[in-house]
Amino acid sequence: MNELSYQRCNIGVTINHKRGDNKNQFAAVYLCIYYMIFIQLYHLVESQTCYIKVEDELWPLQWYLNKSVGDKYDMNVLPAWRSCINGTDVTVGVVDKGVQDHIDLKINRRFDFSDVNEGTVSSLQHGTRAAGVIGALKNKNFTIGIAFGSEIADIKIASTAVWDTFDVAAFYHHMDSIQVYSCSFANFHTGTKTYKLEKNQEDAFIRGTTQGRGGLGSVYVFATGNSGDVTELSHDSCAYDRLVTNRYVISVAGIQDDLSKVPNGEACSAMMVAAFTAKGGAQHHKIVTTNVRNTSTEYFNQNSAAAPMVSGAVALALSANPNLSYRDVMHLLVLTSRGDLPEFKQGNDFKKNAANLSVSSYFGFGLLDIGALVQRSQGWNKVPARESCNANMYSSCCKAVEEYYHLVEVKLCTISYTEHVEVTLKINHPHAGQIQWVLTSPHGTKSTILPGRLLDSTRYMNLTVLTVQMWGENPNGFWKLKPTALFDRNLDGGRVDFISLTVHGFDCSSSDLSCLKPAVQDESFFITPPPYEVTTDKTTDKSDKPDKNTKSINHSVIIIAVVLAVICVVIVILFVVKRKKKLCFKEKLRSKNSENSENYPTEQHIPLKC
């Protein structure tokens, strides 16, 4: 309620009260109530609706946010923007080789991790492009970022080729001020190397997720690599890179406009979500973004472009609800991503797990739906604290690799809702790197945790791998781990020294899990032209005033307005009834006094009908 409303109402009531004019006083009170209620409703409606008029030059080419003719899908960002959510008060750290100053970026240099002036201009190209996808400003220059109201932090590292070579402090740098760390890089994948998560590296993630954002946890978003071309001998999988497959990060895949995999995209059981990236060919299927020297580019592609898409979406979710923990963000992505699209039913290894969630090793839980993510974030109930249960191989000693399957039993575990499952394998075999391992949950959900690689000549493997594909299931029961020899190899002559399975999740028995049900998606988000105005005319008025045909009001606001109007009517009725009773009492008292008084006034009095 604004101060002016109170002033006007108080003045009216005070004046009429001094006059002693009951009718005018009633009218003033009625008008005040209606005035204040409807002024409040007006502000409520206005606060729920923003009018987006995008005038950035390359907006018509941003097909992944703005469906152009012939495109069936985009990532549904417009509902978030029209709800006035644009990333305000969120800072996204771009962990890369540097971000150059740009007229289309809002970079907060006090968060710089190292000297931005070091290195060549070309070395800043990759990071500057990633930053534009996240937060390019809405200012008629070049493109618009998903979270155009956010700030960019430049977390410049020495190298993005080898994980061991840069300071792990980058991942908790200004962790109370930087909410999201966007990482468009992975280890150098050759089809032969396996990258463990060293203790100092894991400690960095633990520090960020437990202490970052005041204890809510920093959000880490990682691209999963570009070495998955099955036609190449060096075909690789992100399963062998613990940098991007650990329980502290969100692993992102690139997906093409026709919902097919990027030709060299990698697959792994830790994949959580997919976002659009560039496809060769037609111009409108490229990713446009900021570039060095205050220019733009249409050549940003592969998983490097997909990860900042998700980072921008997470920035919007945190802008809508700053109290989300990093695990809340993961749950929201799982529950709102689109794994139910018709194209996914025709292949791409999508399957339903026992919790009725569609999931794929190529695309995680499906295509990023920014509008659903932001909407669900606003009314989200925090998930309970994380618990962990551990179980070792169902054997007292070593077992031959060639056995049909290996059992691990999880029992008496208080977890009833699974998030991440980690499996540690110690294998001694002449062709350990060429064996595929498939994990089956007690409910029958299968997950290929290690796909096997042709060039991998590893004999002794000691590796922890991650799967998210049992998300939402109860973990209690027998888990099966089945090896399969690939590339004309056999399983003879080796042994399994150790198998350990760790389940991370929580007990949902005392929690309201209504928020953890998969979202019921509205197909119109994707196939109906959205209500926005697009222009590239430089002479157009700068204001974002609404067009008569573009105004929309949230259904919840309409409901609130109706409820308040009813309350207003009830208040008025109660006020009238109470006032009438009071006047009736005075009238009876006056009548009684008039009968007993000899000095009754001679003026005419009209009795009140009570």
pLDDT digits (tens, 9 = 90+) for 350-384: 999 999 999 999 999 999 999 999 999 999 999 99
Catalytic residue of the set 304, 325, 358, 441:
304
Where exactly does CATH 2.60.120.260 map onto the chain? 387-506
**What's domain 387-506's superfamily in CATH?**
Galactose-binding domain-like (2.60.120.260)
Q: Could you give the CA distance from residue 222 to residue 330 in angstroms, rounded to a whole number?
A: 13
Question: Which position has the token pair 């937060």?
Answer: 135
Q: Could you give the CA distance from residue 452 to residue 462 in angstroms, rounded to a whole number?
A: 14
The reported pLDDT for the residue numbered 106 is: 94
Does residue 96 have an active-site annotation?
A: yes
Q: Are 39 and 5 in contact (CB under 8 A)?
A: yes
> How confident is the model over 108-138, as pLDDT tens digits?
988 888 765 555 777 899 999 999 999 999 9
> How confident is the model over 475-534, as pLDDT tens digits?
999 999 999 988 877 777 788 888 999 999 999 876 555 557 665 554 444 433 333 343
Catalytic residue of the set 56, 96, 236, 241:
96
Residue 418: strand, helix, or coil: strand
Q: Could you give the CA distance from residue 165 to residue 168 in angstroms, rounded to a whole number?
A: 9
Residue 103 DSSP symbol: T
Does residue 182 have an active-site annotation?
A: no
List the structure tokens of 265: 């995209």
Q: Could you give the CA distance from residue 474 to residue 242 in angstroms, rounded to a whole number?
A: 25
Catalytic residue of the set 102, 126, 431, 504:
126
Question: Which position has the token pair 């109170």?
Answer: 6
CA distances from 479 to 269, 424, 441, 446 (A): 16, 13, 5, 10
Count Cβ neighbours within 10 Å for each residue of 66-81 and write b for 16 or more, e otherwise.
bbeeeeebbbbbbbbb
Question: Which position has the token pair 């709800």?
Answer: 83
Does residue 126 have an active-site annotation?
A: yes
The reported pLDDT for the residue numbered 574 is: 78
Q: Are 221 and 250 in contact (CB under 8 A)?
A: yes
| Angle in degrees, 0-180, between the axes of helices 326-336 and 302-320, rounded to the nearest 10 | 110
Global pTM value: 0.79
Q: Could you give the CA distance from residue 236 to residue 105 in angstroms, rounded to a whole number?
A: 35
Selected residue with higher pLDDT from 431 and 579: 431
Closest by Cα among 170, 311, 175, 312 to 243: 170
CATH architecture assignment, domain 53-381: 3-Layer(aba) Sandwich (3.40)
